[in-house]
Chain A
Amino acid sequence: MTTLDQIAAPNRRRRFGSLTLWAGIALVGIHIAVGLLTVVWSPYDPSGMTGGRLEAPSWLHWAGTDRLGRDFLTQIMIGSRIALIVGTGAAAIGAIIGVTLGLLAAFATKLLDDAFAATLDILIAFPTLLIAMLVVAAADTANLGSAIFALGIALSAIVARLTRILTKRVLLLDYITAARTSGTSWLGIVFRHILPNIWPTLSVSFALQFGLAAIAEASLSYLGLGAPPPNASWGRLLQEAQGTVYTAPIGAIAPGIALVSLVIGINLLADGLRDSVDPTRRAR
């Protein structure tokens, strides 16, 4: 029995691995499809008063209407687009700044590196949201761009610290020494050996950053620091639903489900991707 189980195990692991990946692709795919769709089409005009106020879900308005009589499903769908833009933008800015700084720190002299590590630890001690709020406040106009930039900056500290640690670990390995003894330049080592080897871990972290950014953007909007109307961010929808949560609970439930499904989806996707990027983990 045991032997049979052992033989079957790798196979099951692979099925499970691809299941994770496919679930992630499905969830994120739905959000991407919806987000793209809203660029060209939405069920109703997002700012048009197309029904009564706070209508319950019906065939005409699948998720009901908000307190101004606007179609709620339309707003949720536009929220997908905004969450994707913010998540991708912030994660990308965080990745570019963070990876660059992390690599530089790993290669820097001991003194510089220590100073850098201490600075990062202090930055990371502040919640991402707080840093983002400070950056938004400093930018003094709240728009989508400043929210993305603020979150990107806040996330870059986390990415930089991770990159620095991962790079330092790889730098100690024999194959880096081997590459150096055969005359590979520093840039060659970074692009050929270090980045590919830290990529599986980094990519998972980028996905986490994406999720963090989507949640943080919702929080910023909830606090009125995010993108102003007519950008129907899920955070703003939640904030607007706050007063009517007992009479029209769908107003709080629907944006919540949308946000959670996107964040879970991106995490599943990252997990599945890591397994397929790393040949030592890939089931053959």
Chain B
Amino acid sequence: MSALLDIKQLSLHTENVRLLYGVDLTIAPGERVGLIGESGSGKSLTAMAATGLLPTNIRASGSITLAGRPVIDASEHQLNLLRGSAAAVVFQEPLTALDPLMRIGRQIAEPLRRRAARDGQRLSGTELDAAVLAMMGDVALPDPERIARAYPHEISGGQRQRVAIAMALACKPSLLIADEPTTALDVTTQAEILCLLDRLVRERNMALLFISHDLPVVAGIVDRVVVLRQGEVVEAGPVHQVFAHPQHAYTQSLVAAAHAFDTALGAAP
């Protein structure tokens, strides 16, 4: 079975700084992988590199294959065909990830229509409206008809993130990349969104690359984790193994912090 996303010896550098050194990351179809690391360790850059969206001042070396096609040095046209259908991204900050001047319904309709067009179908009018409402139902948005007509600033942060997830899912990607999708949310909403992602990815048989700086958040929904520190992979393996026997000092500190947190929760009345 060939990998859906295959990153080999990826290094990223600007003119004078190296940001990522020899990162390896493989995701098989349907597999769920967590990418963990502290702030600034290069998690988002890895995700951007996978979809060929690196900032122009950053050069990449090594190889990235997405759905069997090379990403590094691919033309914008080839990349556009991959984006959406091979991989779609949910971002950290749900407010800025939505166009402030476009109604929610239209923002979800756009990827739905584009995906249908790629599959050789035409989706428009009432059919498209129905698909949008169905999509909003899938991500458990309350009162979809009202929210479809609302602008991003008129709905809550958790609802915005559900919209962003709906937009990513509307592309029907083989791989969903979630870049810290819950960091900007409160704990309860965070748990809801995690459950939702977990369920949707399972239902649709998608692969998932879940990015976070928080080990416990990731542990619940992925099979395998890759730990990144200062641009280098320091540890990789099945989630239970990394949890039980962390090899690298940095991972050990992450696990210890997670346990301390659990204990603190357990001790609370």
A140 in contact (CB, < 8 A): no
B99, chain A: closest CB distance, angstroms: 5
Partner of A180, one of B56, B83, B167: B83
Give the CA-CA distance A279 to B167 in the complex, in Å: 21
- The residues of A that contact B100 with a CB separation of less than 8 Å are 175, 197, 279-280
B263 in contact (CB, < 8 A): no
Partner of B85, one of A174, A180, A183, A278: A183
- The residues of B that contact A186 with a CB separation of less than 8 Å are 76
Partner of A182, one of B96, B99, B101, B167: B167
Give the CA-CA distance A278 to B152 in the complex, in Å: 13
B115, chain A: closest CB distance, angstroms: 9
A242 in contact (CB, < 8 A): no
B97 in contact (CB, < 8 A): yes
- The residues of B that contact A182 with a CB separation of less than 8 Å are 83-84, 88-89, 111, 114, 167-168, 170-171
Considering the complex, give the chain B residue whose CB is closest to the CB of A175.
Answer: B99
Interface residues of A in 266-282 (CB under 8 A from B): 278-280
Partner of A181, one of B53, B93, B102, B153: B53
B210 in contact (CB, < 8 A): no
Contact size range, B: 20 to 34
B225, chain A: closest CB distance, angstroms: 23
Partner of A178, one of B56, B91, B151, B153: B91
Q: Are A177 and B53 in contact (CB under 8 A)?
A: yes
Give the CA-CA distance A192 to B110 in the complex, in Å: 10
Partner of A279, one of B96, B151, B170: B151
- The residues of A that contact B56 with a CB separation of less than 8 Å are 110
B80 in contact (CB, < 8 A): yes
Interface residues of B in 72-123 (CB under 8 A from A): 76, 80-85, 87-89, 91, 93, 96-102, 110-111, 114
Considering the complex, give the chain A residue whose CB is closest to the CB of B107.
Answer: A175
Give the CA-CA distance A193 to B164 in the complex, in Å: 16
Count residues of A near B (Cβ-Cβ below 8 Å). 21
Give the CA-CA distance A94 to B114 in the complex, in Å: 34
A236, chain B: closest CB distance, angstroms: 43
- The residues of A that contact B80 with a CB separation of less than 8 Å are 183-185
B51 in contact (CB, < 8 A): yes
> Digit string of B153-189 for contact with A (CB within 8 Å is 1, else 0)?
1000000000010011011000001000000000000
A198, chain B: closest CB distance, angstroms: 10
A249 in contact (CB, < 8 A): no
Partner of B91, one of A177, A196, A280: A177
Q: Are A183 and B153 in contact (CB under 8 A)?
A: no
Give the CA-CA distance A225 to B96 in the complex, in Å: 50
Q: Which of A174, A177, A182, A196 has the most chain B CB atoms closer than 10 A to its own CB?
A: A182
A150, chain B: closest CB distance, angstroms: 35
Interface residues of A in 158-212 (CB under 8 A from B): 173-175, 177-186, 192-193, 196-197
Give the CA-CA distance A166 to B197 in the complex, in Å: 35
Q: Are A178 and B164 in contact (CB under 8 A)?
A: yes
Q: Which of B87, B89, B96, B101 has the most chain A CB atoms closer than 10 A to its own CB?
A: B101
- The residues of A that contact B110 with a CB separation of less than 8 Å are 184, 192
From known contacts A278-B101, A280-B151, infer whether A178 and B167 are also in contact, taking CB-CB under 8 Å.
Answer: yes
> Digit string of B21-59 for contact with A (CB within 8 Å is 1, else 0)?
000000000000000000000000000000101001000
Give the CA-CA distance A177 to B90 in the complex, in Å: 10
- The residues of B that contact A181 with a CB separation of less than 8 Å are 51, 53, 83-84, 87-89, 177
Q: Are B83 and A174 in contact (CB under 8 A)?
A: no
A279, chain B: closest CB distance, angstroms: 5
- The residues of A that contact B81 with a CB separation of less than 8 Å are 183
- The residues of B that contact A197 with a CB separation of less than 8 Å are 99-101
Give the CA-CA distance A258 to B88 in the complex, in Å: 57
* Residue contacts A-B, CB under 8 angstroms, 28 given: A174-B93, A175-B96, A175-B98, A175-B100, A178-B89, A178-B164, A178-B167, A180-B53, A181-B87, A181-B89, A181-B177, A182-B114, A182-B168, A182-B170, A183-B80, A183-B111, A184-B80, A184-B110, A184-B114, A193-B102, A196-B99, A197-B99, A197-B100, A278-B101, A279-B151, A280-B101, A280-B151, A280-B153
Give chain A's interface residues, CB within 8 Å of chain B. Answer: 110, 173-175, 177-186, 192-193, 196-197, 278-280
Closest 8 CB pairs of A and B: A183-B84, A183-B83, A174-B96, A181-B89, A182-B84, A174-B97, A175-B99, A279-B151
**Given A182-B171, A196-B101, 20 further pairs, Cβ under 8 A:** A174-B96, A175-B97, A178-B91, A178-B97, A178-B164, A181-B51, A181-B84, A181-B87, A181-B177, A182-B88, A182-B114, A182-B167, A183-B85, A183-B114, A183-B171, A184-B114, A197-B99, A279-B151, A279-B153, A280-B101
